[in-house]
Structure 1
């Protein structure tokens, strides 16, 4: 998947006839439609809709609303991080955090040209009424949680995006050359130029009329093609066949009774076997030598108690989820060759997974799971996706100049909350190995997430003079002196937090070859109240003196 911010455009194109009468120059029914949409929003963190006044304002002057003549033609509130529902009488909006099903009444928008609901949290099936959108040109429903089968009829499209959902069943269409009245399903879309069905759970074959599409647009499904990367057999086994319900309904009653009795019997025997196995495991614990290594492979020891409750992913699952690792934003790989991997490193890796898995705070990165595979050799940590990258990128690259003062203050507060949680609210405490702007990841709404990616780099690169070297069967393992417990440098985190405050406020890196250490540069300014303003990033057009004074006081402590 191409790395991109989740805040995409919300496009809502209409032509004459979608709305009815007027509010000033704009028809009242359009104002009513906008009002219905606003009523469905329950969270607006950036107050984007605050100027939507339905009593004394012209809707064409509202944020995000574009008019042509006396009609609303476009609604664009991208990256607003709003949350809410799509009202029955409301309209189509995309790129935020809308939840719930797509209402069937969407089919009544006869003049709708573009339906873009991508990158939301919509669930349920695609309503069949979507086929009533006779004027529709583009439908984009990617990156939601939609389920069910593809609609048989879907307008006269040119552009269709259904990727990254949980749709199943077959792709409607003819599997042989067809013409005229014999065409059905997607083969009736004579104007279709682009379609993407990737990363669902679709089965069967690709209709003949869609074979012109790139094979990559079908990958990550359960299709029967050797040249298309598919999901694992385990994942595909969970998807019911397209005709499963019909097949079950057609079975005679005596056959269903036999199936039920057989299922109960087999289930009972299975439970007895599991119960016996558990008793044996409790009475006779197994002992494995985690340092034992054969000539070619090391025995992998996984402590089930240590990693209990942590999701384990296979490399194949991650390849499908990350599109062959073309986006590695949330998957961190341990870069160590197999021949250099030892039992001590394996145990440290597992302890690190267990340590990271216990963190649960809105301002710390959430560990979703881990990956241990032997062919090819793989050790990975899987974190939640932070769509806006690192704070360092936003502060020091040109694209990061949009960080306003209030947004920077929110980031500072979030980092402070995260550190308080790590240092005082969990036992044992947790510290970030290298707290800096590269350890702060930003979500779609610029909420900071502290992620400790440096701890593993430290263990595999630490010189021997600062660690214990252990040799076994010709292999050397560098074991940190603090192997048993994480190195809790709370004071170091506090100092680094002060440096980070200066970096956020000034927009300068913590160390610059030309200007030296940031702390030395800022020292004279923060000690002189009249010169404090010189610390502030010159790219900022506005800042609050009271906020700056508090920050300088914290840094000076």
Structure 2
């Protein structure tokens, strides 16, 4: 054959090969397109602002699809759709037909449903991320995917038994994350110990029990190991000493005991070490060589001995928390002085000596917490210029001297707690320059001098406690400027002069204690204007005159006016809340119905300084004035309806014929159906038969420009007026079957009414916890849970401007005649302008027991705070218990109780309300597991409300329950199964 013919033949073969390759590639491209479009058909996007699947069309080349990566031959190798707000049940059967596929990342979405076994057909898969989704059922036998090097199932929703058998097949695995899932309880899986390429293990909060095996040391490449929030027991194995590459070790919230093993100091690359909340003991000298440590968390153990001096030389340490142990000796003087130190917490130990002076040297120190130790000396002057400091708590020590003046005015400082020491001197006048101070605790010291008038400029103050000091002079007359002040405790000092009249303008006051001073003059009648006042103690002073009758309008649980010089008749309503000695030591006092006070004269009340004749004259005069007022009012209402003073402004938001005079006629005491923090609520029945609920608020403008109530029933301050605005703004724009309907607002110059749809079955709180409690089977409770969740989902996700409720609780979930729930009371609601910008405030919004834990370290309000509160409501529905119960333990709530009991798993069914039928307990426990996820400590790991709704939908009970309610829908409620 000639060279020319040979070349032609070869050329023909090459062209033929190219043609076949092109045809194969074209066919493969078409096949890949079909598979991806099949996958797309099963999922949807919940984010209207971003739609990554819009590019997945027949007209677009596959390799140009959003989230798709291809190799040089245009075969799909990677699918990355993480954090795209996608939902649906993904079809892994379609994806695994992509023969070159090596990576699937669909983490941080809203995918749900079970994972079918088709995922095991992805034979070449090296990277699989299904984390932070809402899948159900068990994890498939992923150990069949022998090429895997990365596996993330964290917070994915899987339950049941984890398929550890055969896991040792994953020889290439370097990253393993299966934490934050409710798996069946298991011992530490020995199969992992054969995966010698592992560098990262995350198995926190996934039901691991038993001991950590000694052979953990075989995983010599480990850089991070997280086994927190489990039920691990026994000692930390000595095998850890072999993990010399380890940078992060987290074992907190387990039941570990014993000492830190010898050889632990070999972990010289350790950056983060957290063994908090265990039962470890002994000293910590094995840690003295860990010079790269940035975060050291040893709190809530039984460690003892002193802190090694080497800790003072740690050049990178920024977080140091060792509270609630038995440490002794002095802290190293240089501790926290090298890096940008963030916080120190050595509370509840037995430390002595001086406070290290240079922890704010780099200007980043936020918290100094040294409560209940034996520290001596003074507060170092260096902290007077620590502008990053926001919490200073050194109470219960033996500190002394004067407080550096700059401390009082630090710009971010929200808490100053110096109580139970021997500090002396005065509060500096510079306190008036404070921008953030919310809590001032100086009790049981030797402070003296006058309370600076500048303190009234600190508008952020919520609590003042100056108990048992040597303060003198008068209480600042303008203290009423502190509108956020909740607790005022000045007892056992040497204050003199009158109680300021302006104190009645502190509209948030809940407790006033001025006992044991030398205060004189009358009790200000303005105290009767305080809408939230719960406790009033003015005992042991030199107060005189009458007890103001206006105090009768207060809703007090404690009153003590003993040992003063008060005279006259004690208002009868105050006798109901008084203890035996509440009015003792006032010889001039009398009462008609008290065994502890002399009886008032029925004819002449000299002590009241008014005769019967005077009373009669005043009564007659008032009657005349009242008659004239009524006449004038009726005339003006008839003839001058458009007068700005007497007219009513009606704004309707739903079609309903409402006349304001019909509503006004119903505002009688006998029609009150609720008294809350935002106002009295009345039942109103219109002539047409329509039933409504009316929230009633009053306002008048005082001479000093502050807002006060003129209502004898429910006085309100400026904050309440803002709540009114917030509620109108929020509710008037909302339209959802699970959000209470606001028909209209009716306002006048001095009064405000909100008219809602009437909810005959009251609140969920009433039906669960009060004398109005009823038997509710699980189907009813579930319907309440899913309905309330859909209402919150609407607020968070469907409104033009998402709404954060900020006070989600069972008393704000109302029930209609069919027990359908509706979210109510939007007095604290906030609109979200962007996804990142939230309200920040020093006033904690919400109700004790429902408030998310992040309020302890930040005042930022996010939708995750609502989700935490809703998780508490779910726990109430499942357990039947209140958020705060004595059985939970001191300072413990239902969240702490449920989380602990669920972790123990000895008999979790005992958590379910006994009134729920046995066959529904399993369904109830599924909802309880959702509640646990909603109440995680870290906000970012809580699901969104959209995900909560989907989780609840997937645990819908199969049993049927009927609700039979009488025509009034209020009294005869019975539940039975059919």
Q: Normalised by the shorter chain, which TM-score bucket?
A: 0.3 to 0.5
Q: What TM-score, normalized to structure 2? A: 0.22
Q: What TM-score, normalized to structure 1? A: 0.37
Q: Which has the higher strand share?
A: 2
- Higher RCO by CA contacts (8 Å cutoff, separation 6 or greater): 1
